[in-house]
Structure 1
Amino acid sequence: MQRSAPRLTRILAAAAVPVMLVVAGCSSDSGSGGGDGAGEAGGAKATASATASATPSPTPTVEPAKFAKLPTACKAIAAKTTASLVPKAKNENGTAAASTDLSHRSGCSWNGLDDKGVKGSQYRWLDVSFYRYDSEVSLGSGQARAQENFAKELGKIQATAGAKTLSTAPVAGVGDEAKIVTYTVNKTGEDFPYASVVARSGNVLVLLSYNGAGYAGAPVPRAKTIVEGATKAAKEAVASVAAANK
């Protein structure tokens, strides 16, 4: 009995060692498993964050401008039309307006005095201007910019100093939108009836003005004649914009 007791003690001690190792191993595996889970979650978050940051923001866009060119202003209205509206013009081919950028701004004018001797003289003036607006993300589309300036230019004409019997009306069949402003201004002691047209075609604005006066006893031009002349010339000017871009 005395010899078997120590032997039993040694056997129990030896048997206890694997059990401790197994328990320790489980504890270690458990801790390691928890660490891997946290790493996977962190990695997923990092990947999602990287994907989100890598996704590009949408690039701002704007509607393209309809027209890229302007017509040659002095050829935008037919020669026979300018000849009938401005008889005896000083320059039958028109006088081009000064411009540093003909792709965006251009103009032309005709004026002349038709002297009828003792019957007096008739004076006429016709001018046309073109303005083209590009589409820019920071400013908006060319069409929208032309619309905005359409309203501004119309307002300027309606605010003409000394204008009498001023009236505004839409003009059908001229571009995308058009209005004509009629009024009378007294200059050099004579009444000048005016007809000014503001028209828009796409991203191009067309401004046209026609007026006249009678001198030395000649009658004042009829308002109807001035309106009809301005409307005809405006239609040709607006049509020339599309023709220049074919």
Structure 2
Amino acid sequence: MQRADQRDDRAQPSQRAKRLRRALVCAAAVPAVLITAACSSDSGDSKAKSGAESTQSAGGGSTQPSASASPTVQAAAYQKLPDACGALGKKTLEDLVPKGVKSAKKGTSDDPSTRASCSWSSLDNNGVKGSQFRWLTVSLLRFDSDATRGSGADQAHTYFTRQSKDVQSVDGAKNTKVVPLSGTGAEATAVRYDLKKKEGLFKQQTVVARVENVVVTVDYNGAGLAGEKTPDADDLTKAAEKALKEVVASVSSANGAGGAASSPSGSSEPSKPASPSKSPSKSSSSSASPSKSAARES
């Protein structure tokens, strides 16, 4: 009996020791789990933080798109104009103004390389039989390329269109006829009409052409005065068209037989912008209606 109690007493410390060892093992295991969880948590936070920082860095590191380069326009093909009074040969002048070959009168211009004109008048006096009157005007207008207004050719096209319409709206014009022309510059047209004045019936021909960035206007009218026969409108128109082609050719010749437009390797840099005094609006106001000018002169 005593031995059994002693065995029980000896067994209890042994069991308590086992339970203590198990508790210590479990207790020791808990920090490891916590550390593992903590490491996992830190690792996730670190990755999240790293991702956030990467995103922030990517966002903060983005640069604003650089400003686009200034727009450029095609360079003007022609940089100068011919002498308007020398744009027609002697033979042509003898046909158009037989008594006025030497009557050339140069128009005023603040810049001859942009705007030029010349006029001639002829009065073939046949005494009591009357007289044949002729009036001829050549006008040239050149447009520079400009980043704001566009290429010289586009500006010239706009002016050509407006010029062609203005000629058709002359006060008192009768029997107006508009004929598109081919083979002269990039675009060309002829406008003719009758204009009754106290001196007689005037046959008016205005031919307009655009060659690259230059607009050429030839204004030609004729009348039979004091009983002389009225000139034939078809003959006057043909003479005006001949003069127009000659002036267009002189523009190309003055710029080296075609200027920059004839050379594919020509510079693509825009030409110097026109000054305010060269603006299309002023140019058009000064020579928008050569037919009106001719009518006043005649």
TM-score range relative to shorter protein: 0.7 to 0.9
1:177-216 aligned within 5 A: 177-216=187-226
Mapped to 2, the partners of 1:79 and 1:230 lie a distance apart of 15
- In the TM superposition, residue 121 of structure 1 has moved relative to its aligned partner by 2.2
- Which residue pairs with 1:83 in the alignment? 94
- In the TM superposition, residue 147 of structure 1 has moved relative to its aligned partner by 1.7
Paired letter, 1:41: T
- Which residue pairs with 2:177 in the alignment? 167
- Which residue pairs with 2:46 in the alignment? 32
Mapped to 2, the partners of 1:223 and 1:25 lie a distance apart of 105
Give a deviation string over 1:82-112, Cα, whole Å, max 9, x none.
Answer: 13311222x7161111111222211110112
2:84 to 73, 86, 95: 73
1:14-163 aligned within 5 A: 17=31, 19-47=33-61, 49-50=62-63, 53-57=64-68, 59-89=70-100, 92=102, 94-163=104-173
Mapped to 2, the partners of 1:25 and 1:167 lie a distance apart of 96
Between 1:77-86 and 1:54-63, the stretch displaced more is: 54-63
- In the TM superposition, residue 148 of structure 1 has moved relative to its aligned partner by 1.7
2:243 to 230, 233, 240: 233
Aligned length: 242
Structure 2: any 5+ residue segments left out of the alignment? 1-12, 257-298
CA 102–88 in structure 1, closer or farther in 2 if over 3 Å, else same:
same
Tell which structure's C-alpha radius of gyration is larger.
2
- In the TM superposition, residue 11 of structure 1 has moved relative to its aligned partner by 7.7
SS of structure 2 residue aligned to 1:137: coil
Between 1:120-129 and 1:19-28, the stretch displaced more is: 19-28
Structure 1: any 5+ residue segments left out of the alignment? none
Mapped to 2, the partners of 1:172 and 1:10 lie a distance apart of 111
Mapped to 2, the partners of 1:169 and 1:13 lie a distance apart of 110
- Which residue pairs with 2:296 in the alignment? none
Mapped to 2, the partners of 1:70 and 1:62 lie a distance apart of 21
Between 1:188-197 and 1:38-47, the stretch displaced more is: 38-47
Could you state the TM-score of these two structures normalised by the residue count of structure 1? 0.85
Could you state the TM-score of these two structures normalised by the residue count of structure 2? 0.72
- Which residue pairs with 2:277 in the alignment? none
More strand by share: 1
Cα-Cα RMSD: 2.6
* Fraction of identical pairs, as percent: 40
SS of structure 1 residue aligned to 2:144: coil
Paired letter, 2:199: G
CA 12–211 in structure 1, closer or farther in 2 if over 3 Å, else same:
closer
